[in-house]
Amino acid sequence: MKWFSLPWTVALALCLGSPLALSAAERPNILFIMTDDHASHSLSCYGSKINQTPNLDRLGADGIRFDRAFVCNSICTPSRATVLTGKYSHLNGTPVFNLFDGAQQTVAKLLQTGGYHTMMVGKWHLGSAPTGFDYWNILPGQGRYFDPILYTAEGARVHPGYATEVITDIGIEALKNRPKDKPFFMMLHHKAPHREWQPDAVNAAKFANLTIPEPASLRDDYATRPAALPENAQTVRRDLTRRDLKLTPPENLTQQEKNKWLAVKPDELEIEQNGVKKTLTGEELFAWKYQKYMKDYLACVQGVDDQVGRLRAWLETEGLSKNTVVIYTTDNGFFLGDNGMYDKRFMYEPSLRIPLLVSWPGVIKAGSATELFAINADYAPTFLDMAGLPVPNDMQGRSLVPVLKGESPKGWRSSMYYRYYHDPGHHNTRAHYGVRTQTHKLIYYWKKNAWELFDLVKDPTEQQNIYEAPESAGLIATLKAELARLRVELKDDDQFANEIPKDGVDGGVLKWQPGQGPNGPTAKQ
């Protein structure tokens, strides 16, 4: 049930002996693990044939795997804002890389008010100070993979080591120091496997001598989709930089010269194989770039898998596993050479779809899987429902708890709405919105007045745009009607369609300093 205002309902619930009055032992701890840019098809439990993720697979085997989980806006900062608020970008005010307004209602604040000890560790990437957390320790902006700097309310500290391990270390330490008379809610957010895909040495070695199979659409010519794809600047062929490819700059360059050299997108490259130097160009270089990209990316994923296993083992050792819900997901999907691309943003399946694995001992039947639609706006209502707290009426997601329990709730969504605003933004991805149903997808590039339609059953890799086919007319009318219905239901009135906030947070730094800012970067607000 949704309520308009939490504080008075909390008081009423306590008086009436609702779940809010339960002891810490009776209310589940909630551990939400989120990575950055983790493609579903790089988990073996989602069918990957190119890498194995045993610890993540085990999490799904202990609980449930969502096979149709999606994001509402496939880009880092907006996705994180949706997770916190349970609202689409047009209502939470974060459609692009603009500052998140921490004064607004968030699930962390509601859980904190409702008696949970709240913690945020790792990649925050919202520009403003965290609010609603009793403890936080976060990366500045994108953060770095090695010897990362993390911020608390008191200031910054360099943590020697590899970011995925460091963030897990800090998370475990925060759990050790938590008050034991309260249930906890922890958001543990990893940087990996975000660009520049820098793995630890052990996992890098595991992939060094492998040959990664190429996806069928790696050499996609975009023939039936001319509206936006030919303009994109996130292709493996053209757009990976020397920095992405881990090339070594010439000696004696200044830092400015070094950065300029690393930013070049090479169309020719000299390598050494078996002691023989060779110059790569054209298709040969394209294939080499793909291999380098994928080996680094998958090795970063492997590091995440290792640390998820380590964290779950710690919970087991501490006797916390039986009463802790563990959720694993990512902020958006990612292209692994699909459609010739890396990165995300587009509404195509590799970018739209995300992994979602949930373990809840005694509640979820082990080894479950569902094709019911889930979106990242559902997370906040789900956390509140798990905690026995009311869900505010203005949250646009729905609690997944009935689905976790094996139910098929009446009136559950059979379609989902997506909108991407950052045009041209990074990678020159054009603004678009659309609707995905169980069988089809309709995309509209509103600044170009161009449409795309895909049959996801016959054409799962979205190679054939059938919008202009005469036989599609009836289907198009149905999908446009559903798209219009969703836009009304979700109150999308185009407030950000032509006027996008300009204050970005993607430069790798926080936009506040400890002790400053309109909301004040204090640990508890």
Residue 442 bridge partners (DSSP): 435, 453
Distance CA 286, CA 296 (A): 16
* pLDDT in 10s for each residue of the chain, 525 residues: 444 333 443 444 433 334 444 555 679 999 999 999 999 999 999 999 899 999 999 999 999 999 999 999 999 999 999 999 999 999 999 999 999 999 999 999 999 999 999 999 999 999 999 999 999 999 999 999 999 999 999 999 999 999 999 999 999 999 999 999 999 999 999 999 999 999 999 999 999 999 999 999 999 999 999 999 999 999 999 999 999 999 999 999 999 999 999 999 999 999 888 888 999 999 999 999 999 999 999 999 999 999 999 999 999 999 999 999 999 999 999 999 999 999 999 999 999 999 999 999 999 999 999 999 999 999 999 999 999 999 999 999 999 999 999 999 999 999 999 999 999 888 999 999 999 999 999 999 999 999 999 999 999 999 999 999 999 999 999 999 999 999 999 999 888 777 666 655 554 445 555 544 333 333 332
Strand, coil or helix: 189? strand
Distance CA 9, CA 105 (A): 15
**In this structure, how many other beta carbons lie within 10 angstroms of the beta carbon of residue 238?**
13
Residue keyed to tokens 């501490």: 318
pLDDT score recorded for residue 498: 72
Angstrom distances, CA of residue 360 to CA of 53, 79, 400: 20, 24, 12
Distance CA 56, CA 37 (A): 16
Q: 87 and 417 in contact (C-beta within 8 Å)? A: no
Strand, coil or helix: 291? helix
| Cα dihedral value 82, 86, 91, 94, nearest 10 | -20
Domain ranges of the chain: 2-198+295-409, 221-289
pLDDT score recorded for residue 3: 40
Q: 2-198+295-409 has which CATH code?
A: 3.40.720.10
Distance CA 384, CA 112 (A): 11
Residue keyed to tokens 């890396």: 342
The DSSP secondary-structure symbol of 279 reads E
Q: What is the 3-state secondary structure (H, E, C) of 154-208?
A: CEEEECCCEHHHHHHHHHHHHHHCCCCCCCEEEEEECCCCCCCCCCCHHHHHHHC
Distance CA 236, CA 266 (A): 11
Distance CA 304, CA 291 (A): 20
In the chain, what's the furthest Cα-to-Cα distance? 78
Q: 376 and 354 in contact (C-beta within 8 Å)? A: yes
Closest by alpha carbon to 204, among 190, 214, 192? 192
pLDDT score recorded for residue 16: 39
Q: What is the pTM of this model?
A: 0.92
Distance CA 108, CA 427 (A): 32
Q: At a CB cut-off of 8 Å and minimum separation 6, what does 171 contact?
A: 119, 121, 122, 186, 188, 311
Q: 137 and 150 in contact (C-beta within 8 Å)? A: yes
Distance CA 347, CA 72 (A): 9
